[in-house]
Amino acid sequence: MYLIGNTMKNLVRNRGRYLLTGAVLTALLAAVAVSTMLHGTASRLIDTYTDRFGASVSFTTDLRKLITLTKPDENGQFQDPEITSEQYLAFSQSDAVKNTLFQGTRQVYCDTLQTLDQGNEEAFYEAGGWGGVFQGASETDAPQRQAPNAVVLGYSDPDMMEDFIAGHRQLDEGHFFSALGEVMVSRDLADRSGLQLGDCFTLQDVNHAEVPPLTLTVCGIYLDGTAAQADGQDWAVTNRRNELLTSFETLSQHSMAGLWLTASYYLKSPDLAPDFETYVREHGLSPVYNVSVDAEGYNRIVKPVQSLKSLSKAFLLVILLAGGLVLILLSMLGVRERKYEIGVLRAMGMPKVQVALGLLTESFAVLVLCLSIGLPLGNLAAQPAADAILAGQDAGNEKQIQSNYGDGVVLSTENNGEAETPMQHVDVLWTQGSIGLLAAVSLGLGLITNAAGIWYITRWEPMRILAERS
Amino acid sequence: MAALLELDHVSYTYPMASAPVLRDISMQFEAGKVYAVIGASGAGKTTLLSLLSGLEVCTQGTISYNGTDLRSINRDHYRARSIGVIFQSYNLLLNATAVENVLLAMHLAGEHRTDKQAAYQVLESVGIDRPTADRKILKLSGGEQQRTGIARALAHNPDILLADEPTGNLDEANEAAILDLLTHLAREDGRCVILATHSHRAASCADEVLGLNRGRLLTVRQRE
């Protein structure tokens, strides 16, 4: 109690000096608070981003290898080597892969559905379009092939359905598919075909007769605001209202035969790209393809935050060095001015430890007071500082992305929609890390500055201090 | 009577100095007596008091308090509890009040009676009234500061009082009062009072006058 009471008295007695030190310390702690908050927030975001989007992998065609290693078709066109569905599935088994997003597609015919634009394709061929031969089928196959009246799409993650995330599609009735065999249909298709929740229909793959019929149950009906025919065709198979949305599991468990597959791979870390490449080569990926981490996308997303982190770190170091130096000087000057007082205390028999403890208690009280002012100040300043830094980074990034454009054909970049959105704003918040860092910095600053002053004063014997004073 | 303080062939040389300032001093100081150490300026009077108060350590010989070598005891503890020092330049805490200076001495001595009333009583015993006791040291006159210094030295009831020119800055009336007080503390309260002084008047009050000359301490006069 005496120590605390005496500390308070000493603070009042030496208020001029402590006001100066306190002002510097408050500014310093506010700056430290800003930089630790930015640093902590950026670290957290980087962890989150790398965890979610960190290492998207692409297979891009190397044109030079394509020309060197393959032969053109009869039209003189070089075709990309096929990556089979089995290969796509095998690649996902690599230890380097954190998760894989699959999308399976089949062109189907269902005789119980009356789909939009149904019959247009048949009419086109009957009118002699493309020589009366279905695209992609041989002349001999053509007579057996039924024109598709719908497309069934299977997603391994519902978040892959970007139109729902973007708001172009919206569930109107029922629920998203979850169980095997569940399917969602558009309101237009449901109305046209008289479908209701719980109704079943059976699909037949029009391109692969060996695939057994697939029966699906309507679990949801969605409103569709997308363009029905985006590429100028008016066939049922190209009409987006006829898309039947189900899980990838439903399609793959039914049959992998003839399933048109795309896959997006996300590595546990960008550093694992070489391991992944070795794995996919072993599993038959053509040397025509380059395996590359989506550095552009990664940079677009993570780089602004990394810059924020780097800047905050540099800022913190500068602040600590400059501020620490100022504080040490102030502390030594302060203690020097109190030499006489300390000499008197020592001459009266106050042990060095008690003198040091008294000085430390005073400094600690000042530190607490400065923290209580500096932290809210830092809290206020952190958000505008982060926004300003990110705004600068965003402009720089745009330039860099433009200069990087056109590096190759990306075969597999089915990212979540949000992964393509660059970071323009972060909510700067206190994190456990930043609080810990700030506490450590505060204590460190307090200790370092006081240690210098205390060391300076306690190495003198009391008579020497008093003699110097005289 | 047994010696409270005993010097046995004590010498002291300042760091970096070639010659000792005190040479081979042997002396005993007893309770109930006033000792006056006289000598020219620079003779080593203040140095001798610094050694006796444990602020400095002799470079040769031993100083014992109640038979124990000062080197073997905690000198902070010794200064805080066993002796009271009255400095020539007072050496009070300037930003504190007179009563706070006294309270601090009580606290350092481990006194439980660190209430203000006790501190006021000590100050009153040296002629400082309450309003004066509540004033900052810088607002006190030289005589009041000297009295406060004495009160602080007495606050923890020490066996030995060391006073360096205790009346050097005082007028005649104050000098007489302070000397009366010190002799009273020795003869009535049984303390050992050691004065370093230039003042003949102070020396005349002493039971034993010691002269410092060229670092050596000699007995000049002893009261019968």
CB contact under 8 A, B105 and A348: yes
**Could you tell me the residue ranges of all domains in chain A?**
2-53+299-469, 97-267
Contact A349 B81 (CB under 8 A): yes
* pLDDT exceeds cutoff 80 at A109: yes
pTM: 0.56
Lowest mean pLDDT among A100-109, A453-462, B4-13: A453-462
- Return the residue in A337, A345, A348 with the most chain B beta carbons within 10 A, the one to mutate for interface testing: A348
Confidence of residue A218 (pLDDT cuts 50, 70, 90): very high
pLDDT at res. B113: 54
Pick left, alpha or beta for residue A465 (phi over 0 → left; psi -120 to 50 → alpha; otherwise beta): alpha
Q: Do B35 and B206 touch, CB atoms closer than 8 A?
A: yes
Strand partners, B65: B5, B68
Which of A408 and B38 is assigned the larger pLDDT? B38
A1 token code pair:
């109690």
Contact A344 B89 (CB under 8 A): no
Q: What is the mean pLDDT of residues B118-142?
A: 92
* Cβ pair B185, B193 in contact under 8 A: yes
Q: Are A13 and B95 in contact (CB under 8 A)?
A: yes
pLDDT computed for residue B192 by the predictor? 95
Which pLDDT does position A411 carry in this prediction? 32
Nearest-Cα distance to chain B for A361, in Å, is: 17
| Residues with Cβ within 8 Å of residue B109, at least 6 apart in sequence | A349, B80, B81, B155, B156
Helix axes A432-458, A352-404, angle to 10 degrees: 140
Q: How many CB atoms lie within 10 A of CB A198?
A: 9
CB nearest A349 (choices: B80, B87, B100): B80
Mark yes or no for CB contact B95/A341 under 8 Å: yes
Residues of B in contact with A352 (CB under 8 A): 76
Average pLDDT on B154-178 reads: 86
pLDDT tens digits along A69-89: 888 888 888 888 888 888 888
CB contact under 8 A, A350 and B114: no
Check A341 against B93: CB less than 8 A apart: yes
Confidence of residue A299 (pLDDT cuts 50, 70, 90): low
**Average pLDDT estimate for A416-436:** 60
pLDDT in tens, A396-420: 544 443 333 333 223 333 333 344 4
A434 vs B103, residue with greater confidence: B103
The packing angle between helices B142-154 and B98-108, to 10°, is 20
pLDDT in the model for residue A403: 37
A412 with A59: CB under 8 angstroms?
A: yes
Q: What is the DSSP letter of A438?
A: H
And the tokens for A411?
A: 């075969």
Q: Could you give the percent of chain A with pLDDT greater than 70?
A: 80
pLDDT, position B126: 86
Q: Is the pLDDT of residue A24 over 90?
A: no
Q: Which range has highest mean pLDDT (A83-97, A301-315, B105-119)?
A: A83-97
Indicate the burial class of A175 (C-beta count within 10 angstroms; 0-12, 13-18, 19 or more).
exposed
- Dihedral class, residue A410 (left if φ above 0, else alpha if ψ from -120 to 50, else beta): beta
- Higher pLDDT among residues A50 and A327, named by residue: A327
Per-residue pLDDT averaged across B82-99, rounded? 89
State pLDDT tens for residues A334-373. 777 777 888 888 888 888 888 888 888 888 888 888 888 8
Best to test chain A binding among B49, B52, B95 (most A CBs inside 10 Å): B95
The pLDDT assigned to B35 comes to 95
With contacts defined as CB-CB under 8 Å, which chain A residues touch B114?
A: 2
Mean pLDDT of A368-394: 77
Show the 3-state SS of B144-186.
HHHHHHHHHHHCCCCCEEEEECCCCCCCHHHHHHHHHHHHHHH
Where helices occur in A108-228 by DSSP H, the ranges are 120-126, 162-166, 187-193
Residue B198: predicted pLDDT: 86
Higher pLDDT, B130 or A75: B130
pLDDT band for A272, please (50, 70, 90 cuts).
confident
Section B16-23 average pLDDT: 90
DSSP one-letter code for B68: E
Contact B152 A13 (CB under 8 A): no
- Which range has the worst mean pLDDT, A238-252, A309-323, B184-198? A309-323
Q: Is the interface score ipTM higher than 0.95?
A: no
Indicate the residue of A6, A9, A348 with minimum beta-carbon distance to B80: A348
Greater confidence, B102 or A360?
Answer: B102
Whole-number pLDDT of residue A409: 28
User: Is pLDDT larger for residue B158 or for residue A25?
Assistant: B158
Total CB pairs under 8 A between chain A and B: 55
More confident residue, A168 or B111: A168
Mean pLDDT of B142-154: 90
Residues of A in contact with B105 (CB under 8 A): 348
Q: Is the pLDDT of residue B197 over 70?
A: yes
Residue B66 confidence class, pLDDT cut points 50, 70, 90: very high
Mean pLDDT of A181-200: 94
Please determine, for residue A1, whether its predicted confidence score (pLDDT) is greater than 70: no
DSSP H helices in A54-167: 63-69, 85-91, 120-126, 162-166
d(CA A436, CA A459): 33
Q: What pLDDT, on the 0 to 100 scale, is given for residue B112?
A: 59
